[in-house]
Chain A
Amino acid sequence: MFGKKGLGIVETKSFEFAQKPHELVLESGRKLGPITLAYETYGELDSERSNAVLACHAISGDAHAAGLHPGDKDPGWWDSMIGPGKAFDTNKYFVICSNVIGGCKGSTGPSFANPKTGKPYALDFPMITIADMVHAQRHLIDHLGIDQLLCVAGGSMGGMQVLQWVASYPERVRAAIPIATALKHSPQQIAFDEVGRQAIMADPDWREGGYYGHSQPEKGLAVARMIGHITYMSDKSMEEKFSRRLREKNYSFKFISDFEVEGYLRYRGDNFVRRFDANSYLYITKAMDYFDVSGDKLIGSGETVGARFLVIAFHSDWLYPLYQSQEIVRQLKMRQVDATYCEIQSTYGHDAFLLEVEEETHLIKHFLDKTYQGYDVRSHDA
């Protein structure tokens, strides 16, 4: 994007843990194991193991955050931010990204074979939470021999994982960068997720989740994704991108996609169906809805954490509005946590966290550099 060279070809690795009888005990009380986590790493871990950055992905993301897979023409989902000379500079930092549990991109999820039956879990897969995702990541970080992460960063659901890391493992995080996220899902956010889930579950092809071996509930999943995409954009960005432009010269006076915006949403929906598992969509959206580290749950009252925070939010993001990031900042102020907060001007809506690369790079690069090198100015006693 800035004429910088990317990472080139990268590969996804996998890590297995939680073998019987050491299954992961989930927040629901149920157990999950064995667990496979798909992950990628970029850059080199330094000799003190002090330069590790964990990037956390959003709802539809995966372990492939940056670089290219052989034969692909599009790089990973955060390639604009991760690579040599980029915000998360792989010449300096060792960047890790793993697919969340419950996902469908190589980590254990509902499409994985249930060891008890040898068949895909489907709805026998236990309900998972953001905390469960983070506990699983912690096993990977242990496996990689890293005591303390230089930084945990991510947007949207990735930002929830960042906050959860601080709530669950405060001593293992030196810097936290939650972007376009919230301490808890609002009723509006839960409502959009529920509409998406209902679209999937209303599709007869869903078969109570047991569609493996058949075609998946494509119609329902596509509709869920279309709703998602509407919430990721803004009124203004849609006006700029599509306006009322038609695909053909005139109205068809039929129920086909007359408008470009309709075609775009259908294209996005159809595309998503080819790369995402419908049950994973159900489980992951539910995990986001259950997420709540508001009040004392992020940092206990009377306590504080040593981690520095960089909180980033975007104007025009109406799915995760500014007030939700301001609420994060309010909690940090009350706990006297070293924090920086920036509201970036953008018309992209929630998608801004993947698109406003220049502004985010500027903030993150300096913030991370000062955290890593040690900084000569402080806002709090170390």
Chain B
Amino acid sequence: MSRTLLAIRGLETHFPVAQGVVKALDGIDLELRESEMLCVVGESGSGKSAAARSILQILDRPGRVVGGQILLYRYEGDSEVPSETIDLARLDRSSREIQAVRRRDISMIFQEPMSSLSLAHTCGDQIVEAVRLRHADMSKRDAWARAVDLLKQMQLPDPALTAGQYPFQLSGGMRQRVMIAMALASEPRILIADEPTTALDVTTQAEILALLGRLQRSLGLGVIFITHDMGVVANIADRVAVMRRGKVVETGDLASIFDSPQHDYTRMLLASVQRLEQPSDLKVPATAAVPPPSGVVEPLLQVRELSKTFLTRTSLFGGSRQTLKAVDGVSFDVLPGENVGIVGESGSGKSTMARCLVGLYPASSGSMLYRKSDGKSVELVGSTRKGDDPLLREIRMIFQDPFSALNPRMTVGQIVGEPLLLGRVARGRELKERVAELLQLVGLEPKMMERYPHAFSGGQRQRIVIARAISLNPRLIVADEATSALDVSLRAQMLDLMLQLQQRLQLSYVFITHDISNIRYFCDRVVVMHQGKVVESGTVAQILDAPSMPYTQRLIASVPRPYTSKAPPLSH
């Protein structure tokens, strides 16, 4: 029976705002034991981050802990009885006592290592500082040696070199390792990790999770791991606490939470994530449509050897030109009525390629053959699509960020009507009617036309973006990370909407994403990109269940699946 390190009882954290008070934490209970990985999981607004920050009293102002207890237990040697109990909730945020706790008992790592580390100090300096805060009388040289040793434990290739470098010289994964080293430098019993892998690529995430797991086991740390990703939870947790709107709705060990969830919300959360692991009910197999007499389906879009090179650093005198080959010889097909997923990590070039497809960037070389509604094929590379070019109507785009994709100074009606107006399809009354129709198609009330975007939530805005995209009856929609900015529970809804529209309007989608879990639900075929090139392509089953290329294998293996056993339950 391992000892309890931290006991949170009835914790309340409030944020006073202009209109009143926001109750970020409304009385939560949590317990953390030695050598235990406790995952606190919830969507945005659940209060999970506030919980993490309340413990160390580092809430952003004006947040404050207003009630409850945060009991920290200190132990001498192997004694079962705590030698000291401190209620952290009672401590003032800038008091000596809490600073002492931060220096020796509890360490924390954060989400964005680029902005969470100081850019003006070397990695070594920052770790040394943590070491010397714990051991005040250690010499600078010894502290530096300790820092390098810690970095070695993080499995960095050249620890001494890294110690002398600045954070901006390192990659995201390396920065996070530096941050972990810094946290462990104070030899804590408890580690709080606030979404440490959310900003990392999937493959890097897998490495960091493995590292954290090993360290936890070898050092006997109690870890509170905050995340929104149920897959990560399934991968690493010993115990799970589910949070919603400032309350903990359910706690339990991993198996009970995943196999027999008690609370409705937990069930809903698991369901919406696990649902995405199967193809959607709404999916009609692409070839179920009437096969053409020749038996061969002509592709809607044929991309061959597409490349896009950027020039960076144009100096005034034409010196030092650097080129960046974002897209390097990409080829794939899109058949009518099918959804092709383009999957890749950051830097893979998928976003650039999406913009080339749509015509926002002119491609540098290669070919994109598009078959129009009248059957004729047209070469998209080299043509500029402007003004009332009919191609603009047929190939449309859905953007990632619903907040920057809508002009805040135009009404919803004006935004959705803009392509109709510019394409000279409708005017005046007719335009309004058409806009009303479109809004209804995406599940919004037509009277919302008069409102401005700031009145709508993220999910609603994304629907407006979709309404704008389908306004001209397109045949191909390029969705650039269309669901990445949404909460998991909304994602399935959005994807269902897109599938419904596909059936009604006879669309095809090119679905760009870095999140592989959507692919199985939505797509028919998958193209895997890495550093501008296509690594592998094939059907969803081929790529996700039996990848052949090493990069793809590593990528698929890194994706945390939201199941406690390795194999997902057989499909319904």
A and B found bound together: no
Spell out A's residues near B (CB within 8 Å).
none
Spell out B's residues near A (CB within 8 Å).
none
